[in-house]
Structure 1
Amino acid sequence: MVGFWGRRSREANAAQDAADTELSRKAQLALVAADERIRVASDELAFATAELGDSATANLKVGLDAVREHMTEAFQLHQLNHDHIPDTADELRTRNARIVQLCEWAESVLDERTTELKERVERVRRAPETLARVRATAEALRSRLPDMQGTLERLAAMYSPAALQRVRLNADDAEQLLDFAVRSADLSERRRASGKLEDANLALEAATETLRRAESIFDSIDGFEIEALRTQTTLADVIEDSRGDLVAARTERRTPEVEAAIERLDAALAEVSGSRQRDPFADLALVSAANAALDEAREKAAKPVIPLEHVRHAISAADHSIGIAAGVIDGHRGWIGADARTRLSEARRIRSDISALPSSEGTREEALRLAHRSSALAEDALSLAQRDIDSSRNGHGGGDWGNWGGRSGRSGGAGSVLGPVIGGVILGGLLDDIFD
């Protein structure tokens, strides 16, 4: 047995030694990699500072300084592992784990900070190409200015000022933006030549952003014209459909709602045909809403009108059901549970909702529905009340009054009936006097 445990102990020690050896190797490799990463990051910082300036690279510089400070600890721990003073296995293990942790943190910080600069550095390195593209694009857009002006004049003759508000800028705005983009490109080139890199980069960003805004003006004008034409086509279809709906509506049942919807749609059609310069987007919304209102009114008018007598009969039935349920519940208060009382209360509430409805053909369906619902609740209340009463009479509620002091033969029935009257009251010997 001793040999077995000794073998297990030797195996565990061998496994731990192998893990410690691997950790030591990993710590040494991590130190070498981190040291190389610091060197590369230092070079990247120098290049980026030369191209972007000090302020743009300040974040990387701060990160690099922090990494160098913490890596000093890692190198000191590595030195302790290899000095002439013997160390325990636990000490070596703890130091190597800390070295690995510091190196991984250092690489993570430097990766994050250098990644932030890569895109900006690439943009700066492509500055000559970017400047050439800005100038070429600006010149191409400038050649389109006469066509843009002609398009705007044509649109102004076709559409109302309200419609043209969707194109808030004009050809003059586009020309000013193009001029500013070119001047910014020239300034960027001059600042870079004089060594003012930060100013050069800012001017380059201003040039590209201004050019983007100028392009968006051209795109918005073209897009407006296309969308306006599409909207006009849709509007023509809706107008044709609306005129057909008006013809059909005048041959159908004409309720007050239908009459009002016809007038509204007539007015909308007259308005959109009233002048040459219109807002097709607003016109489409106007006619579509009026057409939808007429469709809804016609749909309601097409439904069979519920006879008034049917509604009155349903309401009378609800009143009758409520009256019966209320009579039973009020006459047996001590026996009736909460379910029956709740349903009766809800039936009464719904009945009051019927009285609040305006008296018109349009509300008859709702009144009929509420009346049926009120009746159903009252009938449920009555059914639950009868169940509670039967349960109490069978001795399951309100106490068992069927046997007072051995007088079961004389008082069995009377006790159940009077249970709700005297329930919870201690009458003592008075009960004998009552039934003698």
Structure 2
Amino acid sequence: MAGLWGRRRREEREQQEAADADLARRARTALVTADERIRATGDELAFAAAELGEAPTEDLRVGLAAVKEHMSEAFHLHQLNHDEIPDTAEELRTRNARIIQLCDWAEDVLDERTDALQARIARVRQAPQILEQVRAESERLRERLPQARATVERLARLYSAEALQRVRVTADQAEQLLDFALHSADVSQRRREARRSEEANLALETATEAVRRAASILDGVDDFEIEAMRAQSTLAEVVADSRGDLVVARQGPQNPEVARAIADLEAALAALPGPGTPSDPFADLASLSAANAALDEAVAKARERAAHPVPSVAHVRHDMDAADHAIAVAGSLINGHRGWIGADARTRYAEAQRVRLDAEPLVTAEDTRERAQQLARRAAQLAQEALQLAQRDIDSSRPDDDDWGSWGGGPRGRSVSIGGGGFGGGLLGPVLGGVLLGGLVGDIFE
């Protein structure tokens, strides 16, 4: 047995030594890799600063400085592992783990900061091609200016000033943006030739954005004309549909809500501009569609009410009176025998009273009257359940011979007599029942 335990300890020691050796190897590799990465990143920083300027590379510069500071700790720990002072296995293990942690952190920081600059560096390297694209796109868009001006003039004759507010800029503004884009492109090229990288990059971004905005303006003019034509076509369909809906609505069930919706839709149709009048098809379509939808909703409600008539106030009051009667009967029984009534009957009774109160304010309005009737019937049902549960409690509490003149089974088995004449048919029966349920009988009869 001793040999077995010795062999196991030897195997465990050998496994730990192998793991420690692997950890030390990983620490040395991580230290070398991180140090080389720091040197390479320093070269990248110098190149990026030359390409982008100092401000865009500030984050990388700060990150590199922080990494160098923390890596000094890693080199110090590695030095401690190899000095003349003997170290325990645990000390070596702790230092190597810390070295790996610091090197991994350094790699992560440098990866994050350099990745953020890659896209900008690539863009700077492509600056000549981008400037060429800016100039070519500007010339292509400039060819669209005459057509855009003609379109704007035509739109001004067809549509109102309110409608044209959706095209908030003109072809003249697009032309100004294109001129500015070409000027910015020239500035970017001159600044790059003068090795003023940061200013060159800013001018390049400005030129690109100016071209994008000019294209958006010209596209917006074309898009507005198409959307306006589509709105006019849809408006014609809604007009025809609305006139048909008016005919149907006049022939269907009538009520004040339907009458108002008919009047509103007729007013919306009358407000539409006549042929040849500059208009706002978007606003007209929105107004007419809203009035048409309101009429559809009113007619649907009227048909629903015709199929399911709203109960009259008198009818609902009848149900309310029935609920009041049921609640009164249940309350009379419960209040007269409270000592014998359990939690279920009391709960149904309280809920019936609450539901009855909720129903009261809903009787007058036509939209809520049906709900009031439902609540009244629910209150009556709850009161009836409370009555049945209360009767069950009373029946289960009364002895079979209904003679409580002498009550055996009191506390400690003693016989109890109340007032000489018993309490089965007397006034103290329910009171004593409540005392029993409350657990006070032991105090009373001590």
TM-score by length of structure 1 reads 0.86
**Where in structure 2 are the equivalents of 1:179-218 lying within 5 Å?**
179-218=179-218
Contact kept in structure 1, 2:352 and 2:380, CA below 8 Å: no
- Stretch deviating more after TM superposition (277-286 or 131-140): 277-286
Structure 1 residue 31 corresponds to structure 2 residue 39: no
The answer to whether 1:382 aligns with 2:387 is yes
Q: Does 1:293 align with 2:294?
A: yes
Alignment CA distance shift 1:372-1:273 (3 Å): farther
Whole-Å separation in 1 of the counterparts to 2:282 and 2:405: 80
Is the Cα–Cα contact under 8 Å of residues 81 and 92 in structure 2 kept in the other structure? Answer: yes
Match of 1:62 in 2: 62
Q: Which amino acid aligns with 1:149?
A: R
Q: Post-superposition shift, 1:253? A: 2.5
Between 181-190 and 66-75, the greater mean CA deviation after superposition = 66-75
Give the 3 Å change call, closer, same or farther, for CA 388–225 of structure 1 in structure 2. farther
Contact in 1 for aligned 2:24/2:96 (Cα 8 Å)? yes
Q: Are residue 341 (structure 1) and residue 341 (structure 2) matched?
A: no
* Deviates further, 78-87 or 113-122: 78-87
Residue from 410, 414, 427 that aligns with 2:425: 414
Q: Partners in 2 of 1:38 and 1:22 — Cα distance?
A: 24
2:19 is equivalent to residue 19 of structure 1: yes
1:414 match: secondary structure: coil
Amino acid paired to 2:15: A
Q: SS of the counterpart of 2:425?
A: helix
Are the structure 2 counterparts of residues 380 and 173 from structure 1 closer, same or farther at C-alpha, using a change threshold of 3 Å?
Answer: farther
8 Å Cα contact 1:347/1:377 also seen in 2: no
- Per-residue CA deviations over 1:49-71 (Å, capped at 9, x if unaligned) read 11111222122122222222222
Amino acid at match of 2:292: N
Contact 1:311 1:367 in 2 (8 A): yes
State the one-letter code of the partner of 1:372. Answer: R
| Corresponding residue SS for 2:231 | helix
Count of matched residue pairs:
421
* Cα 1:267/1:78, change in 2 over 3 Å: same
Deviation at 1:121, TM superposition (A): 0.8
The percent of aligned pairs where both chains have the same amino acid is 58
Check the 8 A contact 1:328/1:385 in 2, yes or no: yes
Aligned with 1:372 (options 356, 373, 377): 377
Counterpart of 1:189 in 2: which secondary structure? Answer: helix
Mapping 1:168-183, distance limit 5 Å: 168-183=168-183
1:241 matches 2:246: no
| Cα-to-partner distance string for 1:64-89 (whole Å, 9 max, x where unaligned) | 22222222332333334344554443
Q: What is the distance in 2 between the residues matched to 1:370 and 1:54?
A: 76
Is the 1:34–1:107 contact (alpha carbons within 8 Å) kept by the matching residues of 2?
yes
Tell me what 1:434 maps to.
none
Deviation for aligned residue 1:130: 0.9
| Counterpart in the other structure of 1:267 | 267
Matches within 5 A, 1:56-135: 56-135=56-135
Asked if structure 1 preserves the Cα contact closer than 8 Å seen for 2:351 and 2:379, the reply is no
Distance in 1, Cα, partners of 2:255 & 2:272: 26
Structure 1: gaps spanning 5 or more residues: 428-436
Q: CA deviation at 1:13?
A: 1.4
User: For the residues of structure 2 that align with 1:75 and 1:406, how far apart are their CA atoms?
Assistant: 96
State how 1:138-153 maps to structure 2 within 5 Å.
138-153=138-153
Measured on the aligned residues, the alpha-carbon RMSD in Å equals 3.1
List structure 1 runs of 4+ shifted beyond 6 angstroms: none
Matched, 1:283 2:284: yes
Q: Is the 8 A contact 2:184 2:206 kept in 1?
A: yes
Alignment partner, residue 44 of structure 1: 44
CA contact (8 A) 2:330 2:383 kept: yes
The residue type equivalent to 1:143 in the other structure is E
- How do 1:396-435 residues align onto structure 2 when only pairs under 5 Å count? 402=407, 405=415, 407=417, 410-411=421-422, 413-415=424-426, 418-420=428-430, 424=435
- The answer to which of 171-180 and 133-142 deviates more is 171-180
In 2, are the aligned partners of 1:402 and 1:413 still within 8 Å (CA)? no
> TM-score under structure 2 normalisation?
0.84
Counterpart of 2:168 in 1: which secondary structure? Answer: coil
Please tell me whether the aligned partners of residues 354 and 370 of structure 1 are also in contact (alpha carbons under 8 angstroms): no
Q: Distance in 2 between matches of 1:421 and 1:412?
A: 10
Whole-Å separation in 1 of the counterparts to 2:6 and 2:136: 84
2:359 & 2:26 partners in 1: Cα distance?
A: 83
Residues of 2 paired with 1:116 and 1:335: CA distance? 80
